[in-house]
Amino acid sequence: MTAFRALLKKELATLFASPLAYLALTLVMLVTALIFFDHLRIYNQILFLYASSQMGGFESDTIPDHINVRDSVFFPVLETLGITLIALIPVITMRVFAEERARGTDELLLTLQLSPGQIVLAKFTVTFGFVLLMMAGSFVYPAMATVEGGIGAEHLLAVFVGLSLHALGLASLGLACSAFSSSQLVAAVASWAVGFVLWDFAWAGAFVGEGFGRFLDAVSMHPRYGSFAEGVVRLEHIAYFAGLALVAAALARLSFDWRRVAG
């Protein structure tokens, strides 16, 4: 247990000793704030345009349906941030296993009374913690602005729960890719590729039948976290991302055995 705790501390120290962690935190918070503020500004302008014209006010059906907080602010934030995370998360996860492998320090870890399972658990825990911190940080400003607007942050919370799960799913994929490579660049590129492919299979709809299309829809990440944008938190979607993390952890654990075999 002491060795496990020491590994956790070491992972945390390594993470925050690198400017990359701060850069990632900054980028996600800044991008969220800019996208949110920009969409909010446009939304308010359109609302006031309608209210100040001949339409008469906010109380009746004078404002088109599609101009509302959900469609004009929450959806675009979710979509843009979702794609930004696909690009950003692999940069965080690429070094986690690959760096140790490149330096040969992974062998050293195995001599410290730590099983491969414990190593995987420690690295997943620290990475997931960091990703959650990043998402929580990015949630602060939109939440404050929304609450101040008198709308209540419950719906927005659902959006960020979805985004956080999406980020954790991407981190899982990134960690699995990192576990199978000794090159950080290869790990990052592989994570981008897998994340991009798993993001949404809507493109495949034209090639496959209705039944297989539904299956592809079920394994895609976008329809899963997208439903959170509607304000609905469904446990099966949470289970999907938990399953993704579980499989990724099992794959990362397999990489230790694979390395012994493939060298």
Partner 1 sequence: MRELLGVGAIAMAFGILASFASEEPGWFALANFGVGTAALVLGALLALLRARHAGAPAFRAPLAAGVARVALALLAGVALERALAWADVRLDWSFERKFEPAPATLGVLDDLCEKGAVEAVLFRDDFDPRKRSTRILLETLAARSCLAFQERRLGDAPGEEERYGVGTSNTVIVRHLADGRPETIELVERPTEGTLYETFSLLAQREGGVLWVARGAGEGDLESGGPNGYSGLAAALATEGYALRQFVSPATTEIPDEVAAVLWIAPERAIPEEALGALDRYLRRGGRLVAWLEPGAPSGLEDLLARWGIEPASGVVVDPASAAIGGCVPGLCPLVYAYATSHPIARGLDPTRMTFFRGARTFRLRKPEIEDRLEQVALASPRSWIAPDASVLERGIPPERPPEETGDYHALVVAGRYVRDGREARIAAFGDSQLASNHDLRALFNLDLVVNAVHWATAREPAITLRPKVAVSGRMQFPIPIQNTFTRFQSLGLLLPELLLIAGALVWVRTRSA
Does 49 help bind partner 1 (rule: CB under 8 A)? no
Question: What residues contact 255, with CB distance under 8 A and at least 6 apart?
Answer: 97, 176, 179, 180
Q: What is the DSSP letter of 53?
A: T
Residue with tokens 């995370």: 85
Residue with tokens 């014209």: 53
Does 108 help bind partner 1 (rule: CB under 8 A)? no
Stretch that binds partner 1, among 2-10, 89-97, 100-108, 248-256 (CB under 8 A): 248-256
Of the candidates 213, 212, 218, the one whose C-alpha atom is nearest the C-alpha of residue 237 is: 218
Q: Using the minimum distance from each CB to partner 1, give the nearer residue, 8 or 233.
A: 233
Considering only residues 202 to 241 of the shown chain, the ones binding partner 1 according to CB under 8 A are: 202-207, 210, 213, 223, 226-227, 229-236, 238-240
Considering only residues 137 to 176 of the shown chain, the ones binding partner 1 according to CB under 8 A are: 137, 140-141, 144-146, 148-152, 154-155, 157-158
Biggest CA–CA distance in the chain, Å, is: 76
State in angstroms the smallest separation of the CB of 86 from partner 1: 11
State in angstroms the smallest separation of the CB of 90 from partner 1: 13
Stretch that binds partner 1, among 3-11, 91-99, 163-171, 189-197 (CB under 8 A): 189-197
Q: ∠ CA 41-46-52 to the nearest 5 degrees?
A: 120
State in angstroms the smallest separation of the CB of 113 from partner 1: 19
Q: Using the minimum distance from each CB to partner 1, give the nearer residue, 8 or 198.
A: 198
In contact, 198 and 221? CB cutoff 8 Å:
yes
Rule CB under 8 A: choose which of 1, 104, 111, 260 binds partner 1: 260
Of the candidates 153, 167, 201, the one whose C-alpha atom is nearest the C-alpha of residue 88 is: 167
State in angstroms the smallest separation of the CB of 148 from partner 1: 5
43-48's contacts with Cβ under 8 Å and 24+ in sequence apart are 43/67, 43/69, 43/72, 43/73, 46/72
